[in-house]
Amino acid sequence: MTIDVDAMTAYRRDQSALTAAGYPAALVRARNTDDVVATLKYAHAHKIPLVTRGAGTGLAGAANAIDGAIVLSMERMNRILDVDAGRRIARVQPGVINADLAAAAAEHGLWYVPDPGSREISTIGGNIATNAGGACCAKYGVTADHVAALTAVLADGRIIHTGAVTRKNAAGLNLTQLIVGSEGALAVIVEATLRLRRSSADPATVVASFPSVGQAISAVLGIRDATEPCVAELMDQTTIAAVNAMTQMGLDATAGALLLVQYDDRTSEAQASACAGLCSQHGATEVYHTSDPIEGEQFMQARRVAFTALEKQGSALLDDLAVPVPALPEMLSAIESIAAKHDLTIGTFGHAADGNLHPTIIFNAGDADETGRARDAFDAMVNACLDLGGSITGEHGVGVLKHRYLQRMIGPIECELSAKVKAAFDPHGILNPGRSL
């Protein structure tokens, strides 16, 4: 056995900013379920903490190493075991990349729906562990809604099978949905059975510029009442400028907000026309509307690079807040006030149709005062979200980044109950301790 510190360094962190990461004692890159079982039995017997990770694209530090822990990487368990077009399910190992599964399903005329921004690089196991979202959740739900069954390894190395391949299943406790989103704190997923849908129609796309984010949101509320978009993405002025600076896409730089709406059924054209009209009624200064899917995809690409573009402006502390859709104007006002109060730039983009925003604080990580203000602004945004009846995380998870807010959101009795549920899976508390719950 050799100790390769450099190899381990690459497995110390996910992509979150300002999250603590420890130094692991060992790295295991599992090739099969037996490797996972052996690793867990060892960790369980010796009470060694264990952090499971996929591609490390998480944004809340849930996959960050803990001092002295075993890091268990699932990236090599990356086989698509079966795509069953009749049953409309796929069985995959956890290290399969989201986009690879989507491509395999498409070969059968089927669609793996969940589309986190990281889809080209993130793994299905990580998507499930964090209950990842994406752009089309308002219409199609989050990762959880597409998981039918799991095979997972308990802390003591025993293998469990949860759920069923059928569309409906009312047998026993729903252990599947308990494991989804549990950030590796309950069990290690070694196989997932995922639901596939019929491919949707080519999307029609509407892009509209508004003088203010408030007007864009009032348009979203009107659009939601009259049509059923699969995508309704928002970018504020700071984000538009950052995307333009990085991509030279020439988005409307004078706009206070840009709205990007897509429809993907057989009435997309009619719905897109109605949407365009509603945008104008709500004060849009420019409205463009296309049924060309390639052009639509270019606009979506502009939205997808939003975070990368903001990261080029400095260090970026990304938030992930979910509020009821009608509370979006208040949440956006709160973000604006917080930016002003803490003298910081905050670029906001997100999924307007389901109330999930990603305000991103741009700061200079070399400046201790500014870093402190960034942390304070982050706190203030999370608290403002809770005051509006929101959730501290819509799709990135709790991890290390949000752990300190969890008790305010879910309460002490619920935290105690969750800890007892965890103990049922993991009596020695070795699985990702201190995260998720």
Residue 77 beta carbon to a copy of itself: minimum distance, rounded to whole angstroms: 21
Kindly tell me which residue out of 3, 47, 86, 250 binds a copy of itself, with binding defined by CB under 8 A.
Answer: 86
Task: Print the SS3 string covering the chain.
Answer: CCCCHHHHHCCCCCCCCCCCCCCCCEEEECCCHHHHHHHHHHHHHHCCCEEEECCCCCCCCCCCCCCCCEEEECCCCCCEEEEECCCCEEEECCCCEHHHHHHHHHCCCEECCCCCCCCCCCEHHHHHHHCCCCCCHHHHCCHHHHEEEEEEECCCCCEEEEECCCCCCCCCCCHHHHHCCCCCCCCEEEEEEEECEECCCCCEEEEEEECCHHHHHHHHHHHHHHCCCCEEEEEEHHHHHHHHHHHCCCCCCCCCEEEEEEECCCCHHHHHHHHHHHHHHCCCCEEEEECCHHHHHHHHHHHHCHHHHHHCCCEEEECCEECCHHHHHHHHHHHHHHHHHCCCEEEEEEEHHHCEEEEEEEECCCCHHHHHHHHHHHHHHHHHHHHCCCECCCCCCCCCCCHHHHHHHHCHHHHHHHHHHHHHHCCCCCECCCCCC
By beta-carbon proximity to a copy of itself, the closer residue of 251 and 276 is 276
Task: Among 162, 218, 238, 371, indicate the residue that binds a copy of itself (CB under 8 A).
Answer: 162
Residue closer to a copy of itself, measured from CB, 179 or 361: 179
- The span from the first CA to the last CA of the chain, in angstroms, equals 35
Instruction: Report if residue 195 touches a copy of itself, rule: CB under 8 A.
Output: no
Judged by CB under 8 A, the stretch of 31-39, 140-148, 306-314, 363-371 that binds a copy of itself is 140-148
* Residue 131 Cβ vs a copy of itself, minimum distance, rounded to whole Å: 5
User: Binding a copy of itself by CB under 8 A: which of 131, 205, 237, 371?
Assistant: 131
Stretch that binds a copy of itself, among 74-82, 154-162, 275-283, 294-302 (CB under 8 A): 154-162
Residue 262 backbone phi and psi in degrees, to 5: -130, 150
If the CB atoms of residues 13 and 358 are measured against a copy of itself, the closer one turns out to be 358
Q: Does 356 bind a copy of itself (CB under 8 A)?
A: yes
Minimum gap (Å) between residue 252 Cβ and a copy of itself: 28
Examine residue 390 and tell whether it contacts a copy of itself (CB under 8 A).
yes
Nearer to a copy of itself, 24 or 355 (CB): 355
By CB under 8 A, the residues from 171 to 190 that bind a copy of itself are: 171-175, 177-178, 180-182, 186
Supply the minimum distance, in Å, between the C-beta of residue 164 and a copy of itself. Answer: 4
Among 43, 406, 430, 431, binds a copy of itself (CB under 8 A): 406
User: Which residues, 12 to 71, sit near a copy of itself by CB under 8 A?
Assistant: none
Determine the interface stretch with a copy of itself among 4-12, 161-169, 242-250, 252-260 (rule: CB under 8 A).
161-169
Q: How far is the CB of 365 from a copy of itself (least distance, A)?
A: 26
We find the least distance from the C-beta atom of residue 223 to a copy of itself, in angstroms, to be 11
Q: Is 274 in the site for a copy of itself (CB under 8 A)?
A: no
Name the token pair of 288.
Answer: 């463009």
- The single residue among 23, 46, 120, 169 that binds a copy of itself, judged by CB under 8 A, is 169
Q: Does 376 bind a copy of itself (CB under 8 A)?
A: no
Verify binding: residue 164, a copy of itself, rule CB under 8 A: yes
Q: Check binding of 233 to a copy of itself (CB under 8 A).
A: no
CA distances from 406 to 52, 412, 434 (A): 21, 9, 11
Stretch that binds a copy of itself, among 277-285, 287-295, 310-318, 383-391 (CB under 8 A): 383-391
Angle CA(125)–CA(31)–CA(101) in degrees, nearest 5? 40
What's the closest the beta carbon of residue 205 comes to a copy of itself, in angstroms? 19
422 binds a copy of itself (CB under 8 A): yes
